[in-house]
Amino acid sequence: MAFVDQAQVELKAGKGGDGIVSFRHEKFVAMGGPFGGDGGHGGSIILKVDEGLRTLMDFRYNRHFKAQSGGKGGTKGMTGASAEDRIISVPQGTIVSDADTGEVLGDMVHEGQTLLVARGGRGGRGNIHFATPANPAPELSENGEPGQVRRIKLELRVLADVGLVGFPSAGKSTLLSVVSNAKPKIAAYHFTTINPNIGMVRLSDDRDFVMADLPGLIEGASEGVGLGFQFLRHVERTRVILHLVDMSGIEGQDPYTQYRKILTELEQYDPTILERPQIVVGTKMDMPDSQENYEKFVSEVKADSGLKFEPEIMAISAVTHKGVDDLLRATADMLDKAPVPESYKVEEETDAEAKLYKFEEEQAEVSVDWDAELDCWIISGPEVEKLAAMTNLQREATIMRFARQLRHMGVDDKLREAGAKDGDDVRINNSNFIFEYSD
């Protein structure tokens, strides 16, 4: 199965149910009055973390999600049925952002964590709510509020305590296969690993941690060369980095040169990555020239005054298992002291939900423009478009109420300032609601 770590989906929450106009008709009940109930709430769309998922493959072919609408109100003041929320499962480590604004909505890292991403519309009010002393029998009701429509971007960043980085064929997959039950592909050619592999490592002292074999990096990876930065993002999640360097020299590459090139790519992508605890691991120590190359490498690293940190250096042979246990113990000790990266910290869900309401309030503005092609004035704005959608055009009373609301919002004044004349057609954006302007 291909590894998919980015996806963009379109969401449409459910519309609220329509309120109705109804009157009480019962024997011996004089002037029964309004009795129309409210519509039910539309279903919201909620993301939920499922630790059984490993990729965003489910969103590769299914990119449109829609929640059900609420039920219509009933007589006797009965409220319509509310629709169930649409729950969409995502893997751990998914960052959710608004595709249009780029705003990060949530960081999904905990099993069972939920995030409201598209709010369902509230049900429209029935005429039972519009009774007043001046109008005890109103023929007023509301249509349901439209559900929120939103495009979101999902970006998966693999959750692992330890990340293996290094040039292709540095021995990352071999090490992971030796220390865990993971079965990564191993072969004698570059870029054997093209997808992150994850394994659980358990030590004899019952400590354990998650290790990720990240695809090989090469010079220019931070600019998109090779596998590019599509997998560099996964390094951000790791708390400890094991930087594997091939000591065999069979590739004709100097170990120290390879080591510095990888550091450069990591720093160019995100300088804070080099602040993470790191162990430099010399691999393939079972090869003939490895010991000599390792000693030279250690001396070059210690003599390098350009390094911003002094790394711990260890040597292993994954084939013979030499030094592997010592490396795992050192890694576990380092994890015990390693801080939790900022990317793990999640906003409170209530704040994320509040953003959805604030998003509409901030844009409650009305604009008036002339459309020469349609030969009419166009009124646009989230609030006025929502009011139009919730207006029951089948009843004159609700149309008159909508006209008063437009006047209260200053639409009449804006049309007059824009140069509208008596008899001009006016249209509410994204609707078929057209009326004639009269000053």
Phi/psi for 344 (5° steps) reads -80, -20
Helix and strand totals (H; E) in the chain: 9, 18
Sign of CA dihedral 318, 320, 321, 323: negative
Phi/psi for 74 (5° steps) reads -120, 175
DSSP state letters, 125-181: PPGGGS--SS-SS----BPPPPPPEEEEEEEE----SEEEE-STTSSHHHHHHHHSS
Residues 145-162: pLDDT tens digits?
A: 999 999 999 988 777 788
Q: Is 220 annotated in some ligand binding site?
A: no
Radius of gyration of the chain (CA): 31
Please tell me the predicted confidence (pLDDT) of residue 230.
54
Q: Is 89 annotated in some ligand binding site?
A: no
pTM for this one?
A: 0.70
Q: Is 18 annotated in some ligand binding site?
A: no
Both structure tokens of 75 = 């007589």
Q: Is 173 annotated in some ligand binding site?
A: yes
Q: Is 195 annotated in some ligand binding site?
A: yes
Q: Is 382 annotated in some ligand binding site?
A: no
Q: Is 420 annotated in some ligand binding site?
A: no
Q: Is 218 annotated in some ligand binding site?
A: no
Q: Is 170 annotated in some ligand binding site?
A: yes
**Token match 């004698």: residue?**
188
Q: Is 193 annotated in some ligand binding site?
A: yes
Distance CA 119, CA 60 (A): 24
Q: Is 286 annotated in some ligand binding site?
A: yes
Please tell me the predicted confidence (pLDDT) of residue 232.
66
Q: Is 114 annotated in some ligand binding site?
A: no
Nearest partner of 35 among 142, 126, 125, judged by Cα: 126
Q: Is 271 annotated in some ligand binding site?
A: no
Please tell me the predicted confidence (pLDDT) of residue 171.
84
Please tell me the predicted confidence (pLDDT) of residue 37.
94
Distance CA 406, CA 400 (A): 10
Q: Tell me the mean pLDDT per 10 residues along the chain, length 439.
A: 73 96 83 90 95 83 94 93 95 90 88 93 93 90 94 86 84 86 50 62 88 65 43 74 88 84 82 86 91 93 77 91 93 87 46 39 69 89 88 88 88 90 88 82
Q: Is 135 annotated in some ligand binding site?
A: no
Q: Is 192 annotated in some ligand binding site?
A: yes
Q: Is 172 annotated in some ligand binding site?
A: yes
Q: How many CA atoms lie within 13 A of 45 on its CB side?
A: 24
Q: Are 214 and 226 in contact (CB under 8 A)?
A: no
Q: Is 128 annotated in some ligand binding site?
A: no
Distance CA 105, CA 412 (A): 37
Q: Is 306 annotated in some ligand binding site?
A: no
Q: Is 317 annotated in some ligand binding site?
A: yes
Residues 6+ apart with CB under 8 A from 109: 49, 92, 93, 159, 344, 346
Residue 191 CA, chain-centre distance (Å), reads 29
Strands (E), 182-332: 197-202, 208-213, 240-246, 278-283, 312-315
Q: Give, rounded to a whole angstrom, the gap between the first and last alpha carbons of the chain.
A: 65
Please tell me the predicted confidence (pLDDT) of residue 3.
52
Q: Is 166 annotated in some ligand binding site?
A: yes
Q: Is 432 annotated in some ligand binding site?
A: no
Residues 83-103: pLDDT tens digits?
A: 999 999 998 889 899 999 989
Long-range contacts of 104-110 (CB under 8 A, 24+ apart): 105/152, 105/352, 105/355, 106/47, 106/346, 106/347, 106/349, 106/352, 107/343, 107/344, 107/345, 107/346, 107/347, 108/47, 108/49, 108/346, 109/49, 109/159, 109/344, 109/346, 110/49, 110/346
162 pairs with which residues across the strands?
A: 211, 240
Q: How far is CA 428 from CA 171, 206, 380, 439, in A?
A: 63, 66, 6, 18
Burial of residue 403 (CB within 10 Å: 0-12, 13-18, 19+) is: middle
Domains within the chain, CATH numbers bracketed: 6-156 (2.70.210.12), 162-342 (3.40.50.300), 367-437 (3.30.300.350)
Q: Is 171 annotated in some ligand binding site?
A: yes
| Helices 255-269, 290-303: crossing angle, 10 deg rounding | 50
Q: Which H or E run contains 426?
A: strand 425-428
Please tell me the predicted confidence (pLDDT) of residue 151.
96
Please tell me the predicted confidence (pLDDT) of residue 82.
95
